[in-house]
Structure formats: C-alpha cells, structure tokens
C-alpha cells in the first residue's frame, strides 16, 4: 500500500476526496501526511479529523524532510498555491501529481490559479472547460497529462457556478488517477501517459 503525501494551501476538498478514496478503497493507498503552506487552511482540520498528520510548513527543504521521514511514495498537490522547486520535482520524478481546474494547455501557467482560471474561461467565451490531472515537471502546469474531463460552460455561468461544476470533476479524476498510480497502471513515455487498465 503506497504512502501518499498531500500538499495544500486552502479548503482541501480535493484532499477530502483523496481521504475518502483511501477509506472506501478506490485508492489502494494511505494519506500519511498533509502539509499546508497556510496555517489557517481548513484542509489541515480535515486531516486531523481523520487522524492524519497535519503540518503547517512553508520551507521547501523542511517539506522534503517531512516527505522522506514519512516514506511518501506519491506527492499530490491539491490546491497547493506555490511553485515547487526542481529539487523537489527531481526528488520525486513522475511521482508528483497536480490537479488543475482547466483543460491544460488552456488557462494555465503563470497567473492562472483558483478563481482566476474560471474568470479567464468566462471572459474568453469558451464553451467547454474542465479539469486536468498531470504529473509535475519543472514548469507550472506543463507536465505529462494523466486524465482530463470536460464540463459545459453555461450562458448564465459566473465564476462561482463554473468553479463548483469543475470542482466536482476535479475530485472524480483526481481520485481515479491516484487509484491508477497506486495500482501501478500508469506509464509515462516522454509527454504521453498510458493507462494500462
Ligand atoms: C480547486 O479548484 C483546485 O483545483 C484549485 O484550488 C481549488 C480549491 O481546491 N487549485 P481545494 O478545495 O482546496 O482542494
């Protein structure tokens, strides 16, 4: 059973989906530690409620130490708002998964995070949006894509409505992707990720 380390910065609904996935066995893994870059992140409370180690830490060297101490096999960035360094990326090559609330390569990269993503989609007039799960490489939101799922952008959508619709899909494809990783069913060949169901 793999040890999962989850990095967060906020409410932690994606973290909750991972915890639930481990508990209902759709993920053959356990969340060993949750590390937040914000002391007040509600995601830390979610971890504590499930007796999971919950740590507020901003220093990346200390984060790497905590991941090693907890023998983490898979790092998941779940609403984590900092760009991680090449040191952390290379320490966990193709073992860091990120969830992004758009269809990469659209509406991603510098300045596109949280609500700003959905505002960009609405302002552009896009007709579909969605979520992307990908492996993390040294740039922002550019690693090999594991899974994507679309949602309709409705004519009366505002950021709140679109964000809520995309968030549901984030939870779904993030838990599925982590489940596949924990079953060793993902292979990466350059930019392509193959799912061996
Ligand atoms: C989600 O849209 C996630 O993709 C983005 O932050 C939002 C909140 O995530 N990075 P969570 O509820 O903290 O998991």
pLDDT digits (tens, 9 = 90+) for 148-191: 999 999 999 999 999 999 999 999 999 999 999 999 999 999 99
Per-residue pLDDT at 86:
95
H or E, element range at 50: none
pLDDT, tens only, 59-70: 999 999 999 999
Which residue, 121, 163, 160, is CA-closest to 14?
163
The distance of Cα 127 from the centroid of its chain, to the nearest Å, equals 24
Angle at 34 between CA 31 and CA 37, to 5 degrees: 155
Tell me the three state secondary structure of residue 23: helix
Are residues 107 and 137 in contact, defined by beta-carbon separation less than 8 angstroms? no
CA–centroid distance, 156 to ligand 1, in Å, is 22
Average pLDDT score over residue span 38-43? 98
Please report which confidence band the pLDDT of residue 96 belongs to, taking 50, 70 and 90 as the band edges: very high
Residue 50 annotated among the catalytic residues of the structure: no
Per-residue pLDDT at 41:
98
User: Tell me, what CATH number does 84's domain have?
Assistant: 3.40.50.170
Question: Ligand 1 pocket check: which of 114, 131, 163 to mutate, most ligand atoms within 8 Å of Cβ?
Answer: 114
Greatest CA separation found in the chain?
A: 49
pLDDT, tens only, 179-193: 999 999 999 999 999
Instruction: State which ligand 1 atom lies nearest to the alpha carbon of 100.
Output: 4
Tell me the three state secondary structure of residue 149: strand
CA–centroid distance, 171 to ligand 1, in Å, is 9
Per-residue pLDDT at 54:
98
Per the structure, the count of domains in the chain is 1
Domain range for 96 is 2-195
Quick check: CB of 167 below 6 Å from ligand 1? yes
The token duo for 23 is 């508990």
């Amino acid at each position: 059973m793999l040890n999962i380390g989850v990095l967060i910065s906020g409410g932690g609904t994606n973290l909750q989906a991972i915890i639930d996935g481990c508990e209902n066995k759709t993920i053959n893994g356990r969340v060993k530690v949750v590390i937040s870059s914000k002391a007040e992140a509600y995601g830390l409370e979610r971890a504590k409620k499930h007796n999971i180690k919950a740590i507020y830490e901003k220093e990346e060297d200390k984060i790497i130490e905590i991941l090693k101490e907890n023998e983490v096999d898979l790092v998941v960035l779940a609403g984590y708002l900092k760009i991680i360094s090449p040191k952390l990326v290379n320490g966990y090559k193709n073992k860091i998964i990120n969830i992004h609330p758009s269809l990469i390569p659209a509406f991603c990269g510098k300045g596109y995070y949280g609500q700003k993503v959905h505002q960009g989609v609405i302002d552009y007039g896009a007709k579909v949006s969605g979520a992307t799960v990908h492996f993390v490489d040294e740039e922002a939101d550019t690693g090999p894509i594991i899974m994507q799922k679309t949602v309709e952008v409705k004519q009366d959508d505002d950021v709140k409505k679109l964000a809520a619709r995309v968030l549901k899909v984030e939870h779904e494809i993030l838990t599925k992707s982590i489940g596949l990783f924990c079953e060793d069913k993902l292979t990466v060949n350059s930019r392509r990720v193959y799912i061996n169901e």
